[in-house]
Amino acid sequence: MLFDLDGTLLAIDTEAFIRRYMKRLGEYTAAIIDPDVLVTSLWTATKHVIADEDAATTNAQVFEEVFLKLCNLSRDEIWPSIDRFYEEEFPLLREDIQPHPATAKVVEEAKRQGYKLVIATNAVFPEAAIMERMKWAGIDASSFDWVTVFENSHFCKPNPKYYEEICEQIGMKPEQCIMIGNDMQQDMVASEIGMRTFFVTDYKIDRGAPQYRVDASGTLDQFGEQLTSRSGIFSVR
């Protein structure tokens, strides 16, 4: 059972959060690099990571190479400040973000039923940032068999290889898995490799195209009800 994080298990407006995050990081490192240059470099390097198809390099390695070149800085000049940002400032970005009321119940019920659990959040953030957002969602990494992060992933959503890599890591076939997420283009693409899909509508994102197969949809509460009662998408396992 693969869960997206932002907008699925975590009640968050992802775009607003990203804007806040970029602004704070720019301010935090302003003594080293112009905030506008930092933000532009971050976006460009992230686009390179998303487009990368090299299974031999992690997302973190791709990002670091492109980002440092764009910033014209060495790793030693900028990375200690970025690491401190994630330790000191990133937790403060939580502000008014609250756990989704259904998240803890859904995760606990899935564990009770014996599912392998994965946090399948797009691996464009370092581990420190993803683990912090899991805390905001009220869930613990120890409940999950795999968490996709910057440092351990070689692909990003919406690349189907991202989902294939997860299957390899947890020793499951795609047809044995279900992807639960709120993004039509990034999450429901898992259906292309044979996963079942549940489209969470609380904070749904749909850019119009492409469209992918959705086996069931509804709020996270409704997903939890189907899971508990073994109805809907769970009526045949």
Give yes or no for a contact between 181 and 8, defined as CB atoms under 8 angstroms apart: yes
Per-residue pLDDT band for 71 (boundaries 50, 70, 90) equals very high
On whether both 63 and 166 belong to a single domain, the answer is no
Per-residue pLDDT band for 237 (boundaries 50, 70, 90) equals low
* Predicted confidence (pLDDT) per residue in 30-46, tens digit: 999 999 999 999 999 99
- Domain membership of residue 38 as a residue range: 14-94
Predicted local confidence at residue 236, as pLDDT: 65
On whether both 22 and 77 belong to a single domain, the answer is yes
Residue 233 is given by DSSP the state G
| Nearest-angstrom CA–CA distance, 78 and 170 | 35
> Of 60, 94, 128, which residue constitutes the final position of a domain?
94
Range 105-128 average pLDDT: 97
Burial of 74 (0-12, 13-18, 19+ CB in 10 A): exposed
Tokens read off for 137: 């969602």
Query: Is the model's pTM score more than 0.85?
Result: yes
Q: What secondary structure does DSSP assign to 179-228, as a single string?
A: EEESBTTTTGGGGGGT-EEEEE-TT-B--SSS----SEEE-HHHHHHHHH
Q: Domains in the chain: how many in total?
A: 2
* Predicted confidence (pLDDT) per residue in 179-214, tens digit: 999 999 999 999 999 999 999 999 999 999 999 999
On whether both 21 and 8 belong to a single domain, the answer is no
CATH of the domain at 192: 3.40.50.1000
Predicted local confidence at residue 13, as pLDDT: 83
Q: What secondary structure does DSSP assign to 27-48, as a single string?
A: HHTTTTS-HHHHHHHHHHHHHH
3-state secondary structure of 231: coil
On whether both 44 and 102 belong to a single domain, the answer is no
Portion of the chain with pLDDT greater than 70, in percent: 99
Per-residue pLDDT band for 16 (boundaries 50, 70, 90) equals confident
pLDDT over 70 (residue 78): yes
Per-residue pLDDT band for 12 (boundaries 50, 70, 90) equals confident
Give yes or no for a contact between 148 and 138, defined as CB atoms under 8 angstroms apart: no
Predicted local confidence at residue 112, as pLDDT: 97
* Predicted confidence (pLDDT) per residue in 216-228, tens digit: 999 999 999 999 9
Per-residue pLDDT band for 14 (boundaries 50, 70, 90) equals confident
> Of 77, 94, 111, which residue constitutes the final position of a domain?
94
